[in-house]
Amino acid sequence: MVALNRHRLTERIFAGERISGEELLQLYRWPLEELGALADRRRQLAKAGAYSGRGNEIVTYIVDRNINYTNVCNVYCKFCAFYRVEGDDDAHVITHAEIDRKIEETVALGGTQILMQGGHHPKLTKQWYLDLLEHIKNKFPRINIHGFSPSEFRRFQSGGTWLDPRWRGRNPGGSGPQTHFAAESDER
Ligand code: SF4
């Protein structure tokens, strides 16, 4: 068990209280072990009421698949072995037929979600993304789309009109699960 500091903020987090943006920034300076312990506490509080009060005894999982819709990227991070430039032999942009095949394989294995991440392809337009999302939602209405990393969002944002209400937690394809956006980084 990690020994927690006696900071008032610790007590408030432990009690499940909401904290402010300024308080959140303080956490950057705290030891990782303490942050982990507090995160675990919040997780336990959040799950406590699930499954008729057995939320902390039951672990759930889903089957999902990471799909890299393109490996073309113009950010050129030094550590990245994933990206390609247009014209490279193994540069790719996924087609609707290819994504259909990948999702069908996922569904056949009991999958319910796809996580889509890719490079910052300079020529993929907002319409290209919307067409892809609508295609998936129309063809696989029960598949949850967990899509796009923070850096991709920054790119969408830098395009000015990229972010519109259709992207904000709404379902581009009508019925079925909503589209969500990934907030974690990916191994590429
Ligand atoms: S794919 Fe991601 S990590 Fe790789 S160069 Fe592009 S932004 Fe950087």
> Which H helix or E strand runs over 117?
strand 113-117
What DSSP designation does 5 have? P
For residue 116, what are the β-bridge partners?
Answer: 67, 147
Tokens of 170: 């709404």
From atom 7 of ligand 1, which residue's Cα is the shortest distance away?
75
Tell whether ligand 1 has an atom less than 6 A from the beta carbon of residue 82.
yes
- d(CA 172, CA 47) in angstroms, rounded, equals 30
- CB burial readout 38-62, b (16+ within 10 A) else e: beebeeeeebeeeeeeebeeeeeee
Query: What pLDDT score was predicted for residue 154?
Result: 84
Which of 73, 85, 152 to probe ligand 1 with, by most ligand atoms within 8 A of CB?
Answer: 73
145 close to 136: Cβ distance less than 8 angstroms = yes
φ, ψ of residue 53 to 5 degrees: the values are: 85, 5
Instruction: Please report the atom of ligand 1 found closest to the CA of residue 118.
Output: 1
pTM of the model: 0.71
- Measured between alpha carbons, how far is 143 from 176 in angstroms, rounded to an integer? 8
Q: Which is the closest atom of ligand 1 to the Cα of 73? A: 6
pLDDT confidence of residue 167? 52
Cα(96) to centroid of ligand 1, in Å? Answer: 23
Closest-lying ligand 1 atom to the alpha carbon of residue 120: 6
Cβ 51 under 6 angstroms from ligand 1: no
Angle at CA of residue 90, ends 88 and 91, nearest 5°: 65
Tokens coding 87:
């014209």
pLDDT at residue 4, rounded to an integer = 64
CB of 85 closer than 6 angstroms to any ligand 1 atom: no
Question: Mind listing the domains of the chain with CATH numbers?
Answer: 8-53 (no CATH), 64-181 (3.30.750)
Residues of the chain with pLDDT under 70: 1-5, 159-188
What digits encode the pLDDT tens for the residues 150-181?
889 888 877 644 555 555 544 444 434 444 45
121 CB under 6 A from ligand 1?
no
